[in-house]
A and B are shown apart, each in its own frame.
Chain A
Amino acid sequence: MPTFVYMTKCDGCGHCVDICPSDIMHIDKTYRRAVNIEPNMCWECYACVKACPQNAIDVRGYADFAPLGHSVRVLREEEKGTISWKIKFRNGHEKNFVSPITTQPWGEKIPRLADLAEPSEEDLNSELLCYEPDALNTNVGLPVMDKSKFKQGVYY
């Protein structure tokens, strides 16, 4: 289901060009608006649809297996922390779904590790990663195995 862009809604801002993982949303040089230059390399990931401030991008199911007359629309609202979907079937039936996308104010709970106390040389030589063993939420430390018990060959 490759994406396409509505001529009257797109203002050429380029958000879709910035975000497309497949590098297929480009600005058309004549119309100064976005266009999907390579629909057969579109994964229908909706990254561009979600990023478009004008709601100018939509999706029409892949021509080789999807009959016309359907739509799957999305509204991603970062400040509300939700994503809303509206599915319209070819026969006119509709389904609506809303899901959370985050439980925290956007980005605020992600630490800057450079601000933490510097780890010691001893820590660097241990098997522990940052925040471990505390972040495992167990009281037994990092699990270990006795490597002398490793066996070659077929068994189990």
Chain B
Amino acid sequence: MGFKTVFEDCDILVVGGGMGGTGAAYEARYWGRDLKIVVAEKANIDRSGAVAQGLYAINCYMGMQWDENQPEDHVRYARNDLMGLVREDLAYDMARHVDSTVHKFEEWGLPIMRDPENGRYLREGKWQIMIHGESYKPIVAEAAKKSADKIYNRIMVTHLLMDESKPNRVGGAIGFNVRTGDLHVFKAKTVIVGAGGASHIFKPRSVGEGMGRTWYAPWSSGSAYALPILAGAKMTQMENRIVLCRFKDGYGPVGAYFLHLKTYTQNAYGDEYESKWYDHTKELVGDYIDHHPTPTCLRNHAFIEETKAGRGPIHMVTKEAFQDPHKETVGWENFLGMTVGQAVVWASQDIDPKYTNPELTTSEPYVMGSHATCSGAWASGPEDLSPDEYYWGYNRMMTVEGLFGAGDALGGTAHAFSSGSFTEGRLAAKAAVKYIREHASEKIQVSEKQIEDRRKEIYQPMENYEVGRNEIVGGTVSPSYILPIHGLQRLEKIMDEYVGGIGANYMTNEPMLLRGLHLLATLHEDLEHIGAEDLHQLQRAWELKHRAITSECVTQHTLFRKETRWPGYYYRGDHMKLDDENWHALTLSHRDPESGEWTMEKAPVYHIVD
């Protein structure tokens, strides 16, 4: 195929220009004046990542200037919400810096609402502040554009490159331009992965035309995980998928409704239901049900059980709050600022929450490290905070040397959200500069062979299509290849049925997981025969490959943890109870890049504060 090869040598390569990646590009320039900083973004940095559409709240702000919260409080909160298991060093570190990030956002022009009574940022809840964030992403993108030497839009990064002069060190990344088809080879001393988490690995509730209406963006293709996994980095807490309680069909967020508008839920018969499930939940998780606030998964659990008992749908009671015109405006603008689709659903179904209490649903599972869960790469913490097991020289560096992460890519840091992801990018960038300074004499070596091998692999789906297409008259059915949409739907079906999706009411067990792994292995074989008709389909093919490897990792982790730590996110039917004696630990996985074999281990949980 007649595609050009474009080479770029740089010091810091940022893969993915979302909140984490823009934070990395920005901070890298401050510390690395003479360094070459390059961003490779799959879409257009002005509207990419999970915040492309905007946000109506910043969910992580301490408010230390008004003594509202301290980093210790954030650690307690995140730990409690994830049933005891987070990386408290990373959480504390993010939290102590996040306010400085938010203050800069406001200076740059992000409209943050103020409380008219005390002049402070208007709180939606204890951690959230309310913003008019339609242009949140273009604003932070501007900061990255003013810092980076070069931003490449429309580059689908498929693999990290490895340095051949030193084992287990990253040497850059490779991918293709989805518009021109050109191969892009980035040789880099350090790489910061700021790519996205994973939607569309579990079958979504919406079907057909609506399948893109997932809660997390459909372009979040698990690259945050696939890139490090394929490079041999250790991953953590990948079993800790998230299920969201959201407004039905549009997945409109409920945070502002619960916290600011003070709306509440009831079953189809108008009864409060959460308290009914208290004894039942206590049997599964013990004292965790008594913690305040109630962990999100346990509230999901009550929702799921109440629905299974035949008393659904669950409604959000909005009719009272929406009589107040201010609250009604907040309720609508909340969607328009970040989930327009929910406004469309309500308009189309004549649901005016002033007169109708809208339905809620629990979503299909997602895998991510930036919202309320903490799946991602196992990374070093900061020197001054981290115990020995958590520290190997550079903050936010993964177990592959020179490879850093932020946002969805980083494991253990729950409840970072947009501001925390940007902050993590900043932390990773500063550490990357330090790494470069301390390894100044070392040269990165990436052989022609490594590049050529990847080139062949990258374009293989187009060749598969070209050859196989000639065998058949037309249509989408070929005995030689499957199309990306075929593979995606098979993946979603496997994960749904065997790994705890909506079709199984989030239930799985060891036999199901083993069967799932077997089917995933055959899917991987078929993905060698995926066919791409054009460059757009080539992008879809690689997104699918990233999703498939992410899914395998999720399944391995789910198999390893023999307990149900987060009822409401998923259930191990063969180990239905939380088991602190054996599993108050973080799970780690490693996939051997040569053999594809997985090894699993436990890592200790360190608690910073009581």
Segment of B229-237, B267-275, B334-342 in the binding face: B334-342
Q: Please tell me if B387 contacts chain A, counting CB pairs below 8 Å.
A: yes
**B357 contacts chain A at the CB level, 8 A cutoff:** no
Chain A residues lying within 8 Å of B64, measured Cβ to Cβ, are 136-138, 143
* Residue B118 is within 8 A (CB to CB) of chain A in the complex: no
Which residue of A22, A102, A135, A145 is within 8 Å of B608 (Cβ)?
Answer: A145
A13 within 8 Å of B by Cβ? no
In the bound complex, residues from chain A placing their C-beta under 8 Å from that of B604 are: 152-153
Determine whether A39 belongs to the interface, using a CB cutoff of 8 Å to chain B.
Answer: yes
* Residues B348 and A87 in contact, CB atoms below 8 Å apart: no
- Contact residues in B for A103 (Cβ distance below 8 Å): 106, 109-111
The reply to whether A114 and B29 form a contact with Cβ atoms under 8 Å apart is yes
Q: Does B375 contact A (CB under 8 A)?
A: no
Task: Please name all residues of chain B whose beta carbon is closer than 8 Å to the beta carbon of A112 when the two chains form the complex.
Answer: 146-147
User: In the assembly, what is the distance between CA of A143 and CA of B94, in Å?
Assistant: 11
What is the CA–CA distance of A24 and B604 in the complex, to the nearest angstrom? 44
In the complex, the answer to whether B212 meets A22 with C-beta atoms within 8 Å is yes
Q: B551 at the A/B interface (Cβ < 8 Å)?
A: no
Among candidates A1, A109, A145, A155, residue contacting B92 with C-beta atoms closer than 8 Å: A145
Q: Does B531 contact A (CB under 8 A)?
A: no
B385 within 8 A of A: yes
Shortest distance in angstroms between B93's beta carbon and chain A's nearest beta carbon?
A: 8
A23 touches B387 (CB 8 A): no
Give the CA-CA distance A114 to B536 in the complex, in Å: 37
Find residues 380-428 in chain B having any chain A CB closer than 8 Å to their own CB.
382-387, 423, 426-427
Is B43 an interface residue, CB under 8 A from the partner?
yes
Given that A22-B43, A124-B433 are contacting pairs, would A45 and B340 also be in contact in the complex, using a CB cutoff of 8 Å? yes
Q: Which of A59, A91, A107, A147 has the most C-beta atoms of chain B within 10 angstroms of its own C-beta? A: A147
Task: List residues 202-222 of chain B with CB under 8 A from any CB of chain A.
Answer: 206-214, 217-219
Residues in chain B near residue A63, CB distance under 8 A: 208-210
Interface of B is mostly: helix
Q: Which of B79, B134, B349, B423 is the one whose CB lies under 8 Å from A90? A: B349
> How many contacting A-B pairs (Cβ < 8 A)?
285
Q: With the chains together, A65 CA to B426 CA distance in Å?
A: 41
Is A110 within 8 A of B210, CB to CB? no
- Are B348 and A100 touching (Cβ within 8 A)? no
Q: How far is the CA of A127 from the CA of B52 in the complex (A)?
A: 30
Question: B26 near A113 (CB under 8 angstroms)?
Answer: yes
Asked if B345 and A142 make an inter-chain contact with CB atoms under 8 angstroms apart, the answer reads no
- Asked if A135 contacts B100 (CB within 8 A), the reply is yes
**Minimum CB distance partner of B217 in chain A:** A43
Within 8 A of A (CB), among B52-110: 52-53, 64-65, 70-72, 76, 79-80, 84, 88-89, 92, 96-97, 99-100, 103-104, 106-110
Chain B contacts for A125, CB-based, 8 A: 434
**Contact assessment for B146 and A127 in the assembled complex, using a CB-CB cutoff below 8 Å:** no
Which of B135-143, B186-194, B444-452, B474-482 forms contacts with chain A? B135-143
Given contacts A18-B44, A113-B26, A150-B606, contact A64 B206 (CB under 8 A): yes
Quick check: is A30 within 8 A (CB to CB) of the other chain? no
The digit string for A12-55, where 1 denotes a CB below 8 A from any CB of B, is 00000011111110100000000001111111111100000000
Cβ-closest chain A residue relative to B291:
A156
Query: Considering residues A93, A100, A110, which has the most beta carbons from chain B within 10 angstroms of its beta carbon?
Result: A110
Docked-complex contact A156 and B79, CB < 8 angstroms? yes
B539 within 8 A of A: yes
Which residues of B lie under 8 Å from residue A61 when comparing CB positions?
344-345, 347-348
Q: Which of A47, A59, A109, A142 is close to B52, meaning CB atoms less than 8 Å apart?
A: A47
Contact B135 A101 (CB under 8 A): yes
Complex Cα distance A129/B383, Å? 14
Q: Is B178 an interface position by the 8 A CB rule?
A: yes
Task: Using known A-B contacts A70-B348, A113-B30, A129-B27, determine if residue A99 contacts B337 with beta carbons closer than 8 Å.
Answer: yes
If A99-B337, A138-B65 touch, whether A40 touches B210 (CB-CB below 8 Å) is yes
B537 closest partner in A (C-beta): A38
Assess whether B84 is in contact with A154, with CB atoms less than 8 Å apart. Answer: yes
Interface contact A136-B210, CB-CB below 8 Å: no
Nearest chain-A residue to B97 (Cβ)?
A: A129
Judge whether B332 is part of the interface by a CB distance below 8 angstroms. Answer: yes
| Cα A65 to Cα B211 with chains together (Å) | 11
Cβ of B154: which chain A residues have Cβ within 8 Å of it?
A: 23
Min C-beta distance of B299 to chain A, whole Å: 19
A83: interface (CB < 8 Å): yes
Q: Which are the 3 A-B pairs with shortest beta-carbon distances?
A: A104-B109, A62-B210, A135-B100
- 12 pairs across A/B with beta carbons < 8 Å? A1-B345, A2-B212, A40-B209, A44-B213, A61-B347, A62-B213, A97-B332, A97-B336, A119-B31, A154-B584, A156-B79, A156-B80
Known: A2-B212, A62-B210, A136-B64. 13 other contacts (CB 8 A): A20-B44, A46-B53, A76-B134, A87-B347, A99-B132, A104-B108, A129-B427, A129-B430, A132-B100, A150-B387, A154-B84, A154-B584, A156-B76
Report B's interface with A, CB cutoff 8 A.
Answer: 26-27, 29-31, 33, 43-44, 46-49, 52-53, 64-65, 70-72, 76, 79-80, 84, 88-89, 92, 96-97, 99-100, 103-104, 106-111, 132, 134-135, 139, 142-143, 146-147, 154, 178, 206-214, 217-219, 249, 329, 332-333, 336-337, 340-341, 343-350, 352, 382-387, 423, 426-427, 430, 433-434, 437, 536, 539, 580, 584, 604-610
A-side residues, CB < 8 A to B, are: 1-2, 18-24, 26, 37-47, 59, 61-72, 74, 76, 83, 85, 87-91, 93, 95, 97, 99-104, 106-107, 109-114, 116, 118-119, 124-125, 127, 129-133, 135-138, 142-145, 147, 149-156
